[in-house]
A and B are shown apart, each in its own frame.
Chain A
């Protein structure tokens, strides 16, 4: 070792291991804190609608299409295909559901929506998987095509019946049902008006009453998607295509098949989202433009949820809830939410102070102060803004947290068979 002169090397200490909390416990804690904040807000601002059963029922109905679209995004992106065509597939789904539903009843509508959405998925898969077209380009094109096809078909099929090319005839919907005796019990508690007990009762009551089978399917699909994607062979293979398709292929995984399957399932889910719109008890039938960009919002909810089923459920719930509050209680209730948001910001600031992340804490505190100042200076949020509150929240959340998100490594990346080394 004569020619080597070594400098003293210091081995850096290993990073401390963070304490692990089981994910379900975390979720429960987050939900409880959220409800507590809402409860405090509702009480202090006297906006009792914030936690009422009616608001929650509206929220569930509004969240459902977004949830389906978000699940669609999850399936597709986990297999590495970005699906911005969800909107188009959803539009196809609304028509398919209306057509099948008009002819054969509500269950046929569910199937019809799914099949039409899945057809959009097939197109997206052909373009992106077989022909390697840029995923966003293909998604935009499919949305255009989906709009065109639906308009053409409704002129052809619905115009003679409903005398309106933009609308289908009224459909037969699902009967709604409530989980008894839980629903009635909760209602009794809600009517006592004891904070925060009544608030919990109102919110949970909204979840278990006025349900349709489609809502049950939607909520069941969240754990089902998790189990299939993370606990089965099919799911492992599908995710591997989204993480490292070259590796997957080298292990004999037929990447094409899995990507096709994922994108078609994704389309089917988006189509279900369309069916959920068509079968909405408040407005049974196809109506041109009824998706209103919910496919895109579903995608946002999925990103918000960090490409995980539980996360996207949270995202969809947030969208649905703010929408529901806006719809049921109007601008003043949304205004009250600002108050809640400032409480949340202060809470987060304190949390980060405890964790000694000073910069983030200051950021949260300032954000809280700004939101509170807005709350203080205006009396109501103008209707035009209240409508788009969820989009604003998405933008803010992405701005604050996008660097902590973890999309599938190969999402959107071109992949051609046999090209890896």
Chain B
């Protein structure tokens, strides 16, 4: 019971707080919060919204898992953004070039994406492990460099094709696509949604049932204790960042293999930073992250619905930003309260036991 309270209360409070904040902002700017709320809720049943939310949340989920792997050992992989974009770009190039039978083709593309993501994160990993460079700074720099590299790779004299105003890679043939589940007029569910779910399961298992998971958590909780306990810090940094990068490499694939089929200059950006926010919302827990991803995707989608009723769609961004900030504050308060409560409880139980012995 207390567990449910301490796990669910902070995010619930944070959401209420953020919603209140937005309501106030709306009232000040002369809009009705109730109209906004109604529009946001009714949109879910309309058109392809529900499927879109699930599809997008799968993307956010993968990205947040990548972030969470690093967070477990207090490594801040801010570079998911660069890793996923570069991986998607290279995967699109490779996928569009290779001729392979179905399934194999798809798997090769997935592997290429994971490998590129891991390699890009690997640069930060090596710099951190061998040169002591903060991964925060190096991954941010690598994000910039990835942008440059992508722009170079899809130049039309390199791997790209000029198509009107846009430059694109060669489209991936049907053999390399990841089939989705069509729901008629409600849209098509990306097949990668299931891959995302599997990744979540794998993450949970790795974290709670294996030696690697223990070593990861131990390194995050106390690097000194982990070292004394025989955990090789350097090895952990490298493995954790490679793994995080590999997962990050898959972030762009639901759209690439399920809808876009090619990487273009206008391919989506920003999923990496969304992943950080979602991982924070879900407190790095596989289920929490799933809920966070759904919430985020729901808010994203709400922007359109709000536009339709004349409420500035940017209110959604404020909602998202304030939810993240208030949720991290709420978790921190509860964490502190929890530990103090446990100390009190232990002391009380020991006193009771001592009195029983004395009696």
Contact present for A148 and B320 (CB under 8 Å): yes
CB of A230 within 8 Å of the partner chain: no
Which residues from 116 to 136 on chain A have a C-beta closer than 8 Å to any C-beta of chain B?
Answer: 123, 126-127, 131-134, 136
CB of A149 within 8 Å of the partner chain: yes
CB of B131 within 8 Å of the partner chain: yes
CB of A402 within 8 Å of the partner chain: yes
Contacts of A402 in B (CB 8 A): 127, 131-134
Contact present for A138 and B315 (CB under 8 Å): no
Partner of B127, one of A131, A388, A392, A399: A399
Contact present for B329 and A391 (CB under 8 Å): no
Contact present for B152 and A385 (CB under 8 Å): yes
A155 and B131 in contact (CB under 8 A), knowing A144-B324, A145-B321, A384-B152? no
Q: Which size bracket describes the interface of A in this complex?
A: 35 or more
CB of B151 within 8 Å of the partner chain: yes
CB of A293 within 8 Å of the partner chain: yes
CB of B333 within 8 Å of the partner chain: yes
Least distance between A80 CB and chain B CB atoms (Å)? 16
Interface centre among B132, B280, B320, B321 (most CB of A within 10 A): B321
CB of A284 within 8 Å of the partner chain: no
Contacts of B316 in A (CB 8 A): 148
CB of B104 within 8 Å of the partner chain: no
Contacts of B318 in A (CB 8 A): 145, 148-149, 152
Main secondary structure of the interface of B (DSSP, over half): helix
CB of B140 within 8 Å of the partner chain: yes
Contacts of A300 in B (CB 8 A): 137, 140-141
Contact present for A388 and B144 (CB under 8 Å): yes
Contacts of A197 in B (CB 8 A): none
CB of A241 within 8 Å of the partner chain: no
Least distance between A65 CB and chain B CB atoms (Å)? 15
Contacts of B29 in A (CB 8 A): 156
CB of B58 within 8 Å of the partner chain: no
Could you give, for residues 62-90 of chain A, a 1 whenever the CB lies within 8 Å of some chain B CB and a 0 otherwise?
00000000000000000000001000000
Could you give, for residues 67-84 of chain B, a 1 whenever the CB lies within 8 Å of some chain A CB and a 0 otherwise?
000000000101000000
CB of B8 within 8 Å of the partner chain: no
Contact present for A149 and B321 (CB under 8 Å): yes
Contact present for B322 and A131 (CB under 8 Å): no
Contacts of A392 in B (CB 8 A): 141, 145
Contact present for B328 and A137 (CB under 8 Å): yes
Give the docked Cα–Cα distance between A299 and B132 (Å). 17
Question: How many A-B residue contacts, CB cutoff 8 Å?
Answer: 132
Which residues from 297 to 324 on chain B have a C-beta closer than 8 Å to any C-beta of chain A?
Answer: 312-322, 324
CB nearest neighbor in B for A87: B140
Q: Which size bracket describes the interface of B in this complex?
A: 35 or more
Contacts of B87 in A (CB 8 A): none
CB of B202 within 8 Å of the partner chain: no
Partner of A399, one of B76, B133, B314, B322: B133
Contact present for B321 and A141 (CB under 8 Å): yes
Interface centre among A127, A144, A398 (most CB of B within 10 A): A144
Partner of B314, one of A127, A132, A151: A151
Chain B residues within CB distance 8 Å of chain A: 25, 29, 76, 78, 127, 131-134, 136-138, 140-145, 147-149, 151-152, 155, 273, 276-277, 280, 312-322, 324-325, 328-329, 332-333, 336
| 5 A-B pairs with least C-beta separation | A148-B317, A145-B321, A152-B314, A384-B151, A388-B148
Not counting A131-B329, A140-B277, A392-B141, a sample of 10 additional A-B residue pairs whose C-beta atoms are within 8 angstroms of each other reads A142-B325, A147-B317, A152-B314, A293-B140, A300-B137, A303-B137, A388-B147, A398-B138, A399-B133, A402-B131
24 inter-chain pairs at a CB distance below 8 angstroms, sorted by A residue, are A126-B329, A133-B329, A136-B76, A137-B280, A140-B276, A140-B280, A144-B320, A145-B325, A147-B317, A148-B317, A148-B321, A152-B317, A155-B312, A296-B140, A299-B140, A300-B140, A382-B152, A382-B155, A391-B144, A392-B145, A398-B127, A398-B138, A399-B131, A402-B133
Chain A residues within CB distance 8 Å of chain B: 84, 123, 126-127, 131-134, 136-138, 140-149, 151-152, 155-156, 165, 293, 296, 299-300, 303, 382, 384-385, 387-388, 391-392, 394-395, 398-400, 402-403
